[in-house]
Amino acid sequence: MLYGHDKVNILMNPTPISYLANVSKDLGIELYLKRDDMTCLGTGGNKLRKLEYLIKDAMDKGATMLLTTGGAQTNHGRLTAASASHFGLKVAIVAVDEYPGEISANLILDGIMGCPVYLVHNDGTRTKQELANEAFAKVTEEWEAKGEKVYFICTGGSSNIGMLGYYDCALELDKQLKEMSLSDVRVITTVGSMGTYMGLFAGQKNENLDFRLTGIAIEPFPDGIEKTAIEYYNSCKEEFGLKFEAKESDFDMTCDYHRGAYNNPSKEVRESIYYLGRKEGIIMDPCYTGKTFAGIKEMVEKGEIAKGETVVMLHSGGIPGIYTKHHRV
């Protein structure tokens, strides 16, 4: 039990750490992958660590149904659907997004797992958040009228409770690095809804773990990424009684490699995905891990990652994204 919160069992821990010998030789660094794409439900991914805590909280509160949100092709929604099926709960997704032109990728998997996806058209009359809140209320009312008790999970599962999944991962990772006799390690993770980065950060700082942590943003943060991070951390600190006093300067994150927008097609990202597939037989997705890996390559070229440095990149999954229409063309 971590900070007073128990969890359900979804993962088969620890997820492995793989050495990328061919890419390491090319880039002149020692590059490893923490394989959180190899978790066991719904084709795998990082959100399952967060869902271990969120589903326990939902069931403790008597919920019979999970409601979550994201884009039409949300990976988090797909894994919420998988987890709900595993624990005998109903589930639905609300997305303020346009129909992507076909039923493919995560939308197929959501359907296989019996998860309805409510697509809400953004007509420009209200903010995206206002439209989402109205849809959450309507869907909750619909299902509660059928006798369900609905538990809402925010985008990416990146709440205070969800963050605890990657606090656990920080401890797991530190133990693995010690067992592998790896030192002076930089861990690099994608930053989207920020729950994965925040859990690793909170674990690293509050448990005095040896590795360094860098986040690569895959979308712009108009209000400032450090400002967003300190507000999130302080909320977690207050809820869980964390000891570390964070400053904005403690967060090592870059917004230099988001390629302009969330989930947008990018030549550099596509080339990096093909490169890794042909060098190592490992697949990354175009929204999250592909952008992060492309960023790592550029950071090496610019000297932002030093030659000879030991880097562990978190592979967070998201593989169904390669099957979406706008990334195939």
Please tell me whether residues 276 and 195 are part of one structural domain.
yes
For residue 72, give every residue at least 6 positions away whose Cβ sits within 8 Å of its Cβ, in sequence order, or none. 95, 97, 98, 99, 100, 107, 117, 119
Q: Where are the beta strands (DSSP E) in 9-88?
A: 17-19, 30-35, 65-69
Please tell me whether residues 211 and 145 are part of one structural domain.
no
Please tell me whether residues 243 and 206 are part of one structural domain.
yes
Asked whether residue 1 is assigned to any structural domain, the reply reads no
Distance separating alpha carbons of residues 209 and 286, to the nearest angstrom? 31
Please tell me whether residues 97 and 34 are part of one structural domain.
no
Asked whether residue 64 is assigned to any structural domain, the reply reads yes
Confidence bin at 12 (pLDDT 50/70/90):
confident
Strand order in the sheet with 253-254: 17-19, 30-35, 310-315, 185-191, 212-217, 253-254
Going by their DSSP bridges, the two strands 253-254 and 17-19 should be labelled as: unpaired
Angle between the 289-302 and 267-280 helix axes, to the nearest 10 degrees? 90
Please tell me whether residues 256 and 199 are part of one structural domain.
yes
Q: Mean pLDDT across the stretch 209-213?
A: 98
Backbone angles phi and psi of 102, in degrees to 5: -170, 160
How high is the mean pLDDT of the chain? 97
Distance separating alpha carbons of residues 144 and 140, to the nearest angstrom? 6
Q: Do the Cβ atoms of 283 and 18 come closer than 8 Å?
A: no
Asked whether residue 9 is assigned to any structural domain, the reply reads no
| Single-letter residue type at 22 | N
Summarised one tens digit per residue, pLDDT across range 259-282 is: 999 999 999 999 999 999 999 999
At 23 the pLDDT is: 98
Q: Mean pLDDT across the stretch 77-105?
A: 97
Please tell me whether residues 60 and 208 are part of one structural domain.
no
Asked whether residue 10 is assigned to any structural domain, the reply reads no
Domain boundary (141, 157, 173) is at 157
For the cut 90, the answer to whether the pLDDT of residue 68 exceeds it is yes
At 109 the pLDDT is: 98
Asked whether residue 75 is assigned to any structural domain, the reply reads yes
**CATH at 141:** 3.40.50.1100
Please tell me whether residues 177 and 274 are part of one structural domain.
yes
Please tell me whether residues 214 and 128 are part of one structural domain.
no
Asked whether residue 12 is assigned to any structural domain, the reply reads no
Domain boundary (157, 184, 215) is at 157
Q: Mean pLDDT across the stretch 109-119?
A: 98
Summarised one tens digit per residue, pLDDT across range 216-228 is: 999 999 999 999 9
Asked whether residue 211 is assigned to any structural domain, the reply reads yes
Locate all alpha helices (DSSP H) within 188-310, ordered by sequence. 195-206, 225-240, 267-280, 289-302
At 328 the pLDDT is: 85
Asked whether residue 5 is assigned to any structural domain, the reply reads no
Please tell me whether residues 132 and 171 are part of one structural domain.
no
Buried/exposed 258-273: b ≥16 CB within 10 Å, e otherwise: bbeeebbebeebeebb
Summarised one tens digit per residue, pLDDT across range 132-184 is: 999 999 999 999 999 999 999 999 999 999 999 999 999 999 999 999 999 99
Please tell me whether residues 321 and 306 are part of one structural domain.
yes
Which domain range does residue 275 map to? Answer: 17-44+163-328
Confidence bin at 2 (pLDDT 50/70/90):
confident
Domain boundary (157, 176, 198) is at 157
Please tell me whether residues 140 and 169 are part of one structural domain.
no
Please tell me whether residues 106 and 180 are part of one structural domain.
no
Structure token digits, residue 212: 């360094």
Count of domains for the chain = 2
